[in-house]
Amino acid sequence: MRGAATFANSVAVFLVSVTAGLTVAVPVEDSRPISRSQLTSRQETTTPWTGPRYVDYGRCTKDTPSKIYTGCDSEPVTQPLDRKRKVAYWSAYDAVNPDYDDPFDPTLLDDLTHLILFSVNMSAFEDNKPLTWTHSEWKFPTDIFKIARDKGISVSAAFGGWDMDQQYKRMNTSMDGELMGNRIAKFAMDNNLDGIDLDHEYPYENQKDAWIAMIETIKLNAPDKTLSVAVPAVPVYEPAEDAPPKQKVLDGYRAMLKQVEPKIDFINLMTYDMINRDNGGRLASHHSSLEGFQRTIDAYEAMGVEKYKMNLGFANYAKWFSVADDKCDQPGHLGLNCTLATPLTEVNSGAFRFRYLMNFQPEYNRTGEGLQEWNKKWTSFNATIGIEITEKIDATYNSTAMANSAYDDVAELFWTWQSPFAVTESCKALRDTGIGGVMNYGLGQDTVDKVHHDALFKHCVGDWNKGL
């Protein structure tokens, strides 16, 4: 078991670069201020990177950066290594908002072993500000660490994700990786986190050295913290050879995962979004399905990841796409294999949370009242399915894919999702194959009666840890 680390005397000091505005760990004997560009240049020309340097970050300092959300009010929780994991992300976008009469329901945590708070504001790297939680208008309960830990749940923070990971993309050298690792380790130690979750969407192949240095630095300077990584699913359509690097979501992991995997405690497979806006002009398919789960597990095994380190991911939202042909207009057509519109943009494609209330933020009102009304009917319909087979499931459920789809012939939209029944069935199909856990994205996005949450955490894996 891991425990909270109490570090001895520091062997390095922090110096703030006036030129680049970044906090850098440099040896005591070389105490002159030095810029990020100088560090990078020196590494490339005269001083090869020889490994991360130890910094005594302490824990729960008086200037704890997060101000509001901190684990300094409670003792860390460490999970046994042989325990099956039940992980959930909780996005700042989906946390309590006073504009909605929507209080936090602590029973959402009852079935978890790990809670990951999404996410830390990475933009602070640019101007040397302390890292903070992003989107402060969406409030986590201020005592969320204590609430979770009192239930025996480990609490991590996610660093990056979506388009909030641009700072990762600027890592080109081992020194860049060390700088990033130091900032992440400091936030984790200052805030007494139980774990660190790296959400880089997605590393490029030429960032291998930077990634290795980042992970080595984190493990050196935050050794008691669980380290996890969110990784993409294998998409339905592999990108073309001449596709831009951002579409080749697996190349970076194929280049370096075998080398860093021993230092990673587990990986969260984002086994959803397997069809997306890069697939304009392709045939419509399920964004989350049993076939996609199996394809992704096999791919990461081939990269050297043991199954017991993998958490299988389930999403609490449907995806929708405009289609470009007429064959979906046939009665009873579920939209599969229809040609998707091209290009796919924020106007003609998107995602809807299962929780109807959460879909009516301004950024989701791009496509008119017709779509909103159809979504309201769809949400109500999906919530009634539950986990039992009903006649309604036959209208949307594919028993081979263990996934659902539908076609709105008025708005000419293809919808793809997993109903509670599909979640339970696909989870059960893989539960006993050596997988180390399941992951849900995310809390606050499910229907009010938590039908998808319960389908995963109660009806599929509820008794996984019995006797441990």
Q: Which of 176-190, 244-258, 292-306 has the highest mean pLDDT?
A: 292-306
Q: Is the pLDDT of residue 50 over 80?
A: yes
Q: Is the pLDDT of residue 82 over 90?
A: no
Model confidence at 63, pLDDT cuts 50, 70, 90, reads low
Whether pLDDT at 274 is above 50: yes
pLDDT for res 42: 33
**What CATH code is assigned to 71-316+421-457?**
3.20.20.80
Per residue in 361-374, pLDDT (tens digit) is 433 333 334 445 54
Number of residues that this document lists for the chain: 468
pLDDT at 112 > cutoff 90: yes
Which residue has 């050196």 as its token pair?
220
**What local confidence, expressed as pLDDT, does residue 22 receive?**
36
CA distances from 214 to 125, 249, 260, 465 (A): 14, 19, 10, 33
pLDDT at 415 over 70: yes
CA dist., res. 32 & res. 22, Å (int): 14
The share of the chain scoring above pLDDT 90, in percent, equals: 41
| pLDDT of the residue at 440 | 97
Confidence of residue 132 (pLDDT cuts 50, 70, 90): confident
pLDDT, residue 99, reads: 53
Q: Give yes or no for residue 98 having a pLDDT over 60.
A: no
Q: What is the pTM of this model?
A: 0.83
Query: Does the structure show a pLDDT above 60 at 397?
Result: yes
Q: What's residue 96's pLDDT?
A: 64
In contact, 232 and 249? CB cutoff 8 Å: yes
pLDDT at 314 over 80: yes
* pLDDT above 90 (res 311): yes
| Residue 389 scores a pLDDT above 70 | no
Find out whether 292 and 274 touch, Cβ atoms under 8 Å: yes
Tell whether the model's pLDDT for residue 46 goes beyond 90.
no
Burial class (CB in 10 A: 0-12, 13-18, 19+), 89: buried
Least confident residue range of 148-157, 267-276, 308-317, 397-406 = 397-406
Alpha-carbon distance of 385 to 392, in angstroms, equals 7
Mean pLDDT of 301-325: 93
DSSP 216-237: HHHHHHSTTSEEEEEEEPPPSS
Query: In 3-state terms, what secondary structure has residue 354?
Result: coil
Q: Is the pLDDT of residue 2 over 50?
A: no
Chain mean position to CA 82: 23
Confidence of residue 255 (pLDDT cuts 50, 70, 90): very high
Identity of the highest mean pLDDT range in 37-51, 217-231, 333-347, 442-456 = 217-231
For helices 174-190 and 208-221, give the axis angle rounded to 10 degrees: 30
Can you give the pLDDT at residue 1?
37
pLDDT tens digits, one per residue of 258-268: 999 999 999 99
Whether the CB-CB separation of 133 and 145 falls below 8 Å is answered with no
| Residue pair 314/424 in contact by the 8 Å Cβ criterion | no
**CA 396, CA 461: separation in Å to the nearest integer?**
25
Give the three-state DSSP class for 336: coil
Q: What is the pLDDT at residue 20? A: 34
Report, as an integer, the average pLDDT of 19-23.
34
Mean pLDDT of the 204-210 span: 94
pLDDT of the residue at 21 = 35
Of 13-17, 120-124, 232-236, 391-395, the range with the lowest mean pLDDT is: 13-17
φ, ψ of residue 176 to 5 degrees: the values are -60, -45
Cα gap 106→69, rounded to integer Å: 16
The first and second tokens of residue 8, run together, are: 């001895």
